[in-house]
Amino acid sequence: MHATIPQQELAAAVTWAARQLPSKPTNPVLTGMRLAADDGQLRLSVWDGTTAAHATLDVDVTESGTVIAPGQMLQQIVAALRKSDVTLSDRAGDLEITTLGAHFALNVLDGRDFPTLPSMPEPLGWVEGSDFAAAFKRVKASIDAKADGSFAGMSGVRIRIDGDMLTLTSTDRYRIATATMPWHSDQPVTAMGVMPGKAIADNATAFQGRLHLSLPADGSGTAALSGDGRQVSTMLLEPGLFPHRLDEIVINVSGRIVTDAESLTEGVRAAMAVSEPGKPVWLHAGEDGVSLRAGSSSRSIVEVDAAYEGDMPAFETAINSVYLLDGLTPLSGVTHIDVTTPKTPAVIHSPDDATYRYVVTPLRDPDRAA
């Protein structure tokens, strides 16, 4: 192998690919990154046992070849190099990295032990990469990264394609975040899958322009993301482990707080000055306005610029303060909090933005939680 490429292009691709490397590999070779140079291109590939990632770069290739380099060490070296052309070559069992004023030699891994990576499924259509990144940012707080066993589906994000809409949904049993975006396809598509949280977190912002997506119809098998010279395929979580009944939740609105997202966020943070993150914050709404309180003292009250409208003359509900802030963070401007009763789920949304919905369950025994 003998290939030359600008440092900035190589560093971006290697850093992205190294993100997919397993933290606890079942086989030492899985810590490796395969570099294959041929026909004017350099292809970087990694595999952690469930997720495969590839990055393809245009390079000056004078000699074709393939090596398996220690992935994390390669990333650290390339990131530290000067912004000049980098030459990669294999010689006598080493990957040699040469650039202006620097030369490194890395012991390569045995290529015979590197697994055959799964093929990429054909894409069904595409979304804008920026829309996908923004949607994931809205739902990521509701992922339960530690969920396992019969709740393992909550450690991922459900992706659903239906007609001209793609929807991301996450839940940790206490809240449900949903974000939608336009879907583009040459043919009608209905598909879904629960993508592992790490796989989507590592790649949600990795694609510029069009992001092509592949999903199975029944949620079982492999999903793939591709675009901008990068490809990721991952085994999906068992679809039956994601609580699909959450789609059946209906909020019969009997009361509504109308506020400004930024103002309410400031009010919650002010009220929590006498408590700790994750402790309850009480929302009191009635004809006299909306106020917040937290901690064990009912004398610490923060009034917010909000109005209440609804059938109930007044109500008070208590919500985990972190969950409430997570639901408000993606919003700006006019925001509604719709409630049925003080103890049943509430919906946080914007009347001017139909692409985001956040359902949060109030605390049943807030005094004990405080």
Q: Is the dihedral of CA 26, 27, 32, 37 positive or negative?
A: negative
Is residue 118 situated within a structural domain? no
Residues 198 and 264 in one domain: no
Assigned domain for 119 exists: no
Q: Are residues 235 and 294 located together in one domain of the fold?
A: no
296 dihedral zone (left: phi>0; alpha: psi -120 to 50; beta): alpha
Question: Do 7 and 88 fall into the same domain?
Answer: yes
Residues 33 and 107 in one domain: yes
Q: Is the pLDDT at 118 greater than 80, yes or no?
A: yes
For residue 85, which amino acid is it?
D
Q: What is the mean pLDDT of the chain?
A: 93
For residues 299 and 286, state if they share a domain: yes
Q: Are 69 and 107 contained in the same domain?
A: yes
* The domain boundary residue, chosen from 194, 225, 247: 247
> Where is the domain boundary, 113, 135, 168?
113
| Domain total in the chain | 3
19 and 55, same domain (yes or no): yes
Give per-residue pLDDT as tens, 126-183: 999 999 999 999 999 999 999 999 999 999 999 999 999 999 999 999 999 999 999 9
Residue 269 and residue 334 share a domain: yes
Range of the domain at 270: 249-369
Tens of pLDDT, residue by residue over 167-217, are 999 999 999 999 999 999 999 999 999 999 999 999 999 998 999 999 999
Residues 226 and 285 in one domain: no
Exposure string of 170-208, with b = 16+ CB inside 10 Å and e = fewer, is bbbebbbbbbbbebebeeebebbbbbbbbbbbbbbebbe
Specify if 120 maps to a domain. no
Domain end marker among 206, 224, 247: 247
In this structure, is residue 34 part of a structural domain?
A: yes
Distance CA 45, CA 36 (A): 8
pLDDT of residue 33 exceeding 70, the answer is: yes
β-bridge partners, 88: 3, 97
Does 6 map to a domain?
A: yes
Residues in the chain: 370
Asked if residue 331 has pLDDT above 90, the reply is yes
Q: Report if residue 99 sits inside a domain.
A: yes
CATH number at residue 221: 3.10.150.10
Residues 34 and 107 in one domain: yes
Whether residues 130 and 242 share a domain: the answer is yes
Does 331 lie in the same domain as 226?
A: no
Give this prediction's pTM.
0.91
